[in-house]
Structure 1
Amino acid sequence: MNVLIIYSHPNETSYNASILQTVQKHLAPEHRVKIVDLYKENFDPVLRFDETHKRRDLQHNEDMKPYRDLLSWADQLIFIFPTWWSGMPAILKGFIDRVFVTGFAYQNGPRGPVGKLDGKAWIITTHNTPKIFLPFSQDYAKVLKSQILKPCGIKPVKMTQVTRVEYMSDRQRKEELEKIAQIAKRI
């Protein structure tokens, strides 16, 4: 299976980095794994429209072709990112804006988007939101699942949320990593 990990965290020693390492370590060795580390790649998240950059032409943007090729190659997407201020990192949102574009990821149909991508996804997010507030907060893992990936044809989408990361003990952090390892082994 072709597995593409899309990773978004600026700190190489973060808990998200530990999650990335855990996922990599526990994926079956026969999988072909590629990683897009948006911060390491210094991905430019800014979407530009002007006389030479038209929205209708985004699917042909040569700068984004390597990312489109990776998405087309992948059978399994894995997103790893923190949730900040109820949203994904801006660099990841910019990646989605610039790569998951009409004509490539979906086509507009009479009843809404018609997905053009295949495969499944696993979204792993971390945040500090107390569980009591989760039902009332805008969670971009859910937005990514329901309003981006599914309309683009990617399903099923599994979600793993690690909450209250800042307040977890080392034991709790290890327990969460073990849960993630078990899921990675089943991919």
Structure 2
Amino acid sequence: MNSLIIYAHPDKKSFNASILKTVQENLSHQHDVKTLDLYEEEFDPVLRFDAIHRRRDLANDVAMKHYRDLLVWADQLIFIFPTWWSGMPAILKGFIERVFVAGFAYDNTPRGLKGRLAGQAWIITTHNTPKIFLPFAQDYSKVLKFQILKPCGFKTVKVTQVTRVEYMSNHERKEQLEKIAKIAKSL
């Protein structure tokens, strides 16, 4: 299986970095794995429209070809990112806006979006939202799952949320990493 990890966290010593390492080390050796670290690549998240950059031409944007090729190559996407201010990091949002575009990831039809991509996805996100506020908080993993990935053709999307990251003990962090390792091994 071809697995593409899409990683979005600027701190190489963060808990998200530990999650990334855990996933990379525990995916089956039957997986061909590529990691796309958006911060390390200095991905430009700014979507521009003007006379040269027209929205209808985004599916052919030469600057995004490498990323489109990675998505076509992958049978499985694994997203690892923190939730900040009820959303994903701007760099990841910009990646989605520039790469998951009409004519490539989906087609607009009279009945709605028709996905052009296929495969499965696993979303791993971290946040500090207190449990008491979780029912009211925006869950960006659900937005990514139901409003982006599923309409683009992904049939199976698993979500893993790690909460209270800032307040976790080392023991709790280790337990979370063990759970993530177990899931990675089962893919």
Relative to the length of structure 2, the TM-score reads 0.99
Q: Which residue in 1 is equivalent to 2:105? A: 105
Q: Provide Cα deviations, 1:79-111, integer angstroms capped at 9, x if missing partner.
A: 000000000000000000000000000000111
Q: Given the two structures, how large is their TM-score scaled by the length of structure 1?
A: 0.99
- In structure 2, what is the Cα distance between the partners aligned to 1:89 and 1:18? 18
Partner of 1:148: 148
> Where do 4+ consecutive residues of structure 1 move more than 4 Å?
none
Partner amino acid for 2:46?
V
Aligned position for 1:51: 51
Report the secondary structure of 2:63's partner residue: helix
* Number of positions where the alignment pairs a residue of Structure 1 with one of Structure 2: 187
Superposition map of 1:60-79 within 5 A: 60-79=60-79
Equivalent in the alignment of 1:114: 114
Confirm whether residue 171 of structure 1 aligns to residue 166 of structure 2: no
Task: Give the RMSD, CA atoms, in angstroms.
Answer: 0.5
Unaligned regions of 5+ residues in structure 2, if any?
none
Matched-pair identity in %: 74
SS in 2 for 1:63: helix
Cα separation, 2, equivalents of 1:162 and 1:100: 26
* Structure 1, unpaired ranges of 5+: none
Partner of 2:134: 134
In 2: Cα distance, 1:174 partner to 1:166 partner: 14
Amino acid at match of 1:145: K
The one-letter amino acid of 1:14's match is S
Question: Structure 2 CA distance, aligned partners of 1:132 and 1:148?
Answer: 27
Equivalent positions of 1:83-94 (< 5 A) are 83-94=83-94
